Amino acid sequence: MCSQGTRYIGVRIAVFNQKGGVGKTTSTLNLAAALAHDEPPVILLDLNPQVHLSSIHGNPPRESSRSVFALYAHIRPLESLVKVWPDLGHLIPAHPELKRTLKSLASVLRRRVERR
């Protein structure tokens, strides 16, 4: 809810591709810029361990506890990880430590598929 009591119905847009160098970060940033002047506000969630989007923000977190990794590690709630991105909206930054989490998630998913 915003301060005037208006409730937003959000739209989620995911930009993903396993191949590198196909413009995921650029596309994400351009989509966010195009949507930044509309309501509800834009929140970017960087799930890439290469942290390119977080680096463009200008201040990638040094500690993994200040990134989306902290959510997966059950250290902090998602709301506490949001950073303001002037003229764009908000960012929940990534951290290179995400690579370890993504490998663990892939392993769990692989085991579930093999059981079927």
pTM for the full model?
0.74
Q: Model confidence over 42-70: pLDDT tens digits?
A: 999 988 888 889 889 887 777 777 888 88
Tell me the mean pLDDT in the region 74-94.
88
Q: DSSP for the chain?
A: --TTSPPP---------SSSSSSHHHHHHHHHHHHTTSSSPPEEE---TT-HHHHHHT---SSGGGSTHHHHTTSS-GGGG-EEETTTEEEE---TTHHHHHHHHHHHHHHHHHH-
24-115 under CATH 3.30.1330.10, yes or no: no
Residue 82 vs residue 101, higher pLDDT: 82
The domains of the chain are located at 24-115
Confidence band of 41 (pLDDT split at 50, 70, 90): confident
